[in-house]
Amino acid sequence: MAEGKSISGGIVETIKTIVYALLLAGLIRTLIFQPFWIPSGSMKPSLLIGDFLFVNKFAYGYSAYSCPGYRGYNICFWAKGSDDRLWGGMPARGDVIVFRHPVTGQDYIKRLIGLPGDRIEMQGGQVILNGTPVPQDQIADFVEVFEAQGPARRTPRCLQTVGLGGACAKTQYVETLPGGVSHETLDFANRGSDRAGPFEVPEGHFFFLGDNRDNSVDSRFPQSASGVGYVPYENLIGRADRIIFSSAGRSILYFWTWRSDRFLRAVR
């Protein structure tokens, strides 16, 4: 009889442990970090396809978009409208941010370039911010292997045509935003999106660009099912601070394809 009670008690304790672990994981995901896997090359070279990172949700506080279940029941019960952001903090220019697409509701990740009230233009692939060109200094080309990448198995775009397994190069710049934040951007072609604007960022909204400028659908494109347009403050989910690990294969489960140089790498 004692043995039966012991087994029964052990099962109950195991169930309790699992429930507590799930509750803790849910709390962490809701209030602190959200996992995010990079599915496209729009943020190269800062973020590669297959980078796995945690998004810091505490950075800008919590809105309805920050919490799981936004399309149905929302566990952030206080967030019933666009202005209901708890412990809200303003993002800084240059932050790499995950946000909810204003039309489709999908999660996007881009770099914050324009703050409310800013005037932005693109001329020859260079950002003109409030009438002043943002400095761009060309550095050594970004080179990657021309091969299928990620679950979609898409090949990268290159300056020149190369065969499978060849060296795919893109022109690379260091762009320095006001305030001193520097990051790399890529260019591989003369495209229509290299000339855009001017854009006047409305109050309560932000303007985003991908670092891979010729391969990014961002705020240069009018808000639609594909274009991003201006992103409302309440749509911000969190800031990407650090890559946890990175997989060059079809899935993050392909541990033998993990990139050893990207473990715990800071996002900048």
Q: Which residues are known to be catalytic?
A: 42, 110
Whether the Cβ atoms of residue 205 and residue 232 lie closer than 8 Å to each other: yes
| CB neighbourhood size of 78 (10 A) | 13
**Dist CA 233 CA 74 (whole Å):** 18
The dihedral through the CA atoms of 214, 220, 221, 227 has a sign that is positive
**44 alpha carbon, distance to own chain's centre:** 11
What are 42's two structure tokens?
A: 């729009």
DSSP H/E element including 142: strand 136-145
Go through 196-214 and write b for each residue having 16 or more CB atoms within 10 A of its CB, e for each that does not.
Answer: bbebebeeebbbbbbbbbb
Long-range contacts of 146-150 (CB under 8 A, 24+ apart): 149/41, 149/49, 149/50, 149/248, 150/39, 150/40, 150/49, 150/50, 150/250
Is the N-terminal amide bond of 45 cis, ω within 30° of 0? Answer: yes
Whether the Cβ atoms of residue 31 and residue 39 lie closer than 8 Å to each other: no
Dump the DSSP string for 171-192. Answer: EEEEEE-TTS-EEEEEE-S--G
